[in-house]
């Protein structure tokens, strides 16, 4: 995500630099007070620019899926930009609070005063200051509960709905407290465009319009307990459903109060608007899903999203597919789609890592499908019997003489260990594609 955030922040910094060079320093200002003033502006500009980006990313822009590599990656960028934005907002607030320290160290001489001639503008500047201060406290609290993994997700999600309101408060703060000279310079035009885009996105979010065009209703056809804490849910969707590519996911809502959860569509597109989900009991809601769902119940499905698709890879590259636990779902969809034309299936090694292969509900299905797909070698790695899959083993079995495309879906620490291990072993030209099953 650095490849997006570094250029983005560089452009913002250049715009600020342009304004700094073009604007003469206030008469009598000393270096210390000048530095404080510009640091205040720059941290504020970084923060509001990143927040505008975050708001746009929160609208689930499908046009960004191709450049970023899927909606899960859009959310990753959203999260990383969010952490940075709050860090800059906190720095901005600390610099604002540094007044008394600077007075004690450098004296009052050379201070820079804001132009406040009274009237509407001065009143709005006071309002902007108040709003900014409260919004920063709320943002810091939001960041703390985001990073505190044990904080319940469903409460976090409701709290997160307040973000557009906080953003709009910060827009008022930025509009009335940015230097007036900025609005006649590129930095002001850039900020105005970003804040306009961010405010539009915020309004869309508050009006509940995000993803509305991709939302289709349907009904549950069957619910089956597959064992191992996995529930299979089959749904029939309304005619508006446009179909999906194997490996994509959707936001699925079985209950209006609970809201939507992302689940991979664990089957190929059969062209009959029937889709299936394999849902593992991983948390509060998914744990009671198996007993709570009934055939005939309505469902709302928003999607499809995602770019987890082996066909994006170079045809000459060797393919390694690795699934950990419920991360097998996109591969189930891939295998089923390949069964339509087994001769056209790519050469690939599929590693399925599970706790216990004897009781795993997916193993018989994988074995049956791979028996009909001779180019796919299935390796089941059962934790109760086998050594865990490591980069070292992949290196031994797939020593790269050519490019390797590694498709991974599973727990993040497992992905990190494989990625780092492969880099350390110097496993040649490896492209690591990861479907992130986490959005927070």
Q: Which residues bind ligand FAD (CB under 6 A)?
A: 72, 153-154, 157, 249, 259-264, 266, 278-280, 282-286, 326, 329, 437-440
Distance of closest approach, residue 246 Cβ to ligand FAD, in angstroms: 13
| Least CB distance to ligand FAD at residue 292 (A) | 11
298-305 and 215-227 beta bridge pairing: antiparallel
Identity of the residue, 244 or 261, whose beta carbon is nearer to ligand FAD in the bound complex: 261
The smaller minimum CB distance to ligand FAD, of residues 116 and 440, is found at 440
Contacting residues for 345 by C-beta, under 8 A, at least 6 apart: 338, 373, 375, 376
For residues 106 and 156, which CB has a smaller minimum distance to ligand FAD in the complex? 156
Residue nearest to ligand FAD (CB): 283
By beta-carbon proximity to ligand FAD, the closer residue of 153 and 432 is 153
Q: What minimum distance in Å lies between the beta carbon of 287 and ligand FAD?
A: 6
Which of 16/263 has CB closer to ligand FAD?
263
Cα(348)–Cα(144) distance, integer angstroms: 42
Least distance to ligand FAD from the beta carbon of 128, Å? Answer: 33
Please give the structure tokens belonging to residue 430: 């490896």
Residues 134, 140, 141, 146, Cα dihedral to 10°: 140
Cβ-proximal residues to 256 (8 Å cutoff; 6+ apart), any chain: none
Q: Closest CB to ligand FAD among 225 and 429?
A: 225
Is the CB of 285 or the CB of 432 nearer to ligand FAD? 285
Min dist CB 438 to ligand FAD, Å, is 4
Min dist. Cβ of residue 424 to ligand FAD (A)? 28
Residue 300 β-bridge partners:
217, 253
The least distance separating ligand FAD from the CB of residue 237, rounded to whole angstroms, comes to 17
- Give the span between the Cα atoms of 384 and 134, in whole angstroms: 52
Per-residue exposure over 393-428, b if at least 16 CB sit within 10 Å of its own CB, e if not:
bbbeebebeeebbbbbbbbeebbeebbebbeebebe
d(CA 85, CA 141): 13
When computed from its CA atoms, the radius of gyration of the chain, rounded to whole angstroms, is 26
**Nearer CB in complex with ligand FAD: 135/322:** 322
Helices (H) and strands (E) in the chain, counts: 15, 11
Q: Are 85 and 43 in contact (CB under 8 A)?
A: no
Closest contact distance (angstroms) between CB of 55 and ligand FAD is 18
- Give which of 132, 155, 156 is closest to 142, Cα–Cα: 156
If phi > 0 it is left, if psi is from -120 to 50 it is alpha, else beta; for residue 70 that is left
């Amino acid at each position: 995500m650095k490849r997006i955030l570094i250029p983005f922040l560089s452009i913002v910094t250049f715009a600020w630099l342009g304004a700094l060079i073009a604007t003469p320093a206030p008469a009598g200002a000393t270096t210390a007070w000048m530095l404080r003033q510009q640091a205040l502006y720059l941290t504020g500009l970084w923060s509001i620019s990143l927040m505008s980006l975050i708001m746009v990313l929160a609208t689930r822009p499908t046009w960004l899926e191709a450049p970023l590599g899927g909606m899960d990656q859009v959310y990753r960028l959203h999260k990383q930009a969010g952490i940075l934005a709050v860090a800059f907002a906190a720095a901005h607030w600390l610099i604002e609070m540094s007044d008394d320290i600077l007075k004690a160290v450098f004296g009052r001489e050379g201070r820079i005063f804001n132009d406040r001639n009274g009237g509407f503008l001065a009143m709005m500047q006071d309002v902007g200051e108040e709003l900014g201060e409260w919004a920063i406290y709320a943002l810091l609290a939001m960041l703390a509960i985001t990073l505190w993994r044990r904080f319940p997700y469903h409460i976090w999600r409701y709290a997160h709905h307040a973000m557009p309101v906080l953003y709009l408060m910060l827009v008022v703060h930025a509009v009335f407290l940015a230097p007036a000279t900025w609005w006649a310079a590129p930095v002001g035009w850039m900020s105005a465009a970003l804040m306009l885009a961010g405010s539009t996105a915020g309004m869309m979010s508050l009006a509940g319009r995000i993803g509305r065009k991709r939302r289709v209703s349907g009904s549950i056809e069957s619910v089956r307990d597959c064992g191992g804490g996995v529930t299979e849910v089959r749904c029939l969707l309304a005619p508006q459903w446009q179909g999906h590519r194997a490996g994509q996911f959707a936001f699925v809502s079985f209950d209006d109060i609970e809201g939507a959860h992302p689940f991979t569509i664990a089957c190929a597109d059969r062209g009959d608007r029937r889709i299936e989900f394999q849902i593992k009991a991983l948390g509060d809601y998914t744990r009671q899903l198996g007993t709570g769902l009934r055939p005939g119940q309505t469902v709302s499905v928003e999607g499809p999203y995602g770019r987890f698709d082996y066909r994006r890879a170079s045809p000459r590259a060797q393919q390694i597919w690795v699934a950990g636990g419920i991360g097998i779902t996109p591969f189930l969809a891939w295998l089923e789609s390949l069964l339509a034309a087994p001769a056209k299936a790519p050469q690939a090694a599929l590693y399925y890592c599970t706790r216990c292969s004897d009781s795993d509900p997916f193993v018989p299905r994988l074995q049956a499908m791979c028996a009909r797909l001779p180019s796919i070698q299935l390796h089941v790695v059962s934790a109760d019997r086998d050594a865990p899959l490591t980069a070292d083993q992949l290196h031994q079995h797939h020593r790269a003489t050519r490019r390797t495309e590694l498709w991974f879906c599973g727990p993040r620490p497992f992905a990190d260990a494989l990625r780092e291990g492969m880099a350390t072993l110097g496993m040649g030209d490896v492209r690591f594609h990861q479907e992130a099953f986490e959005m927070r």
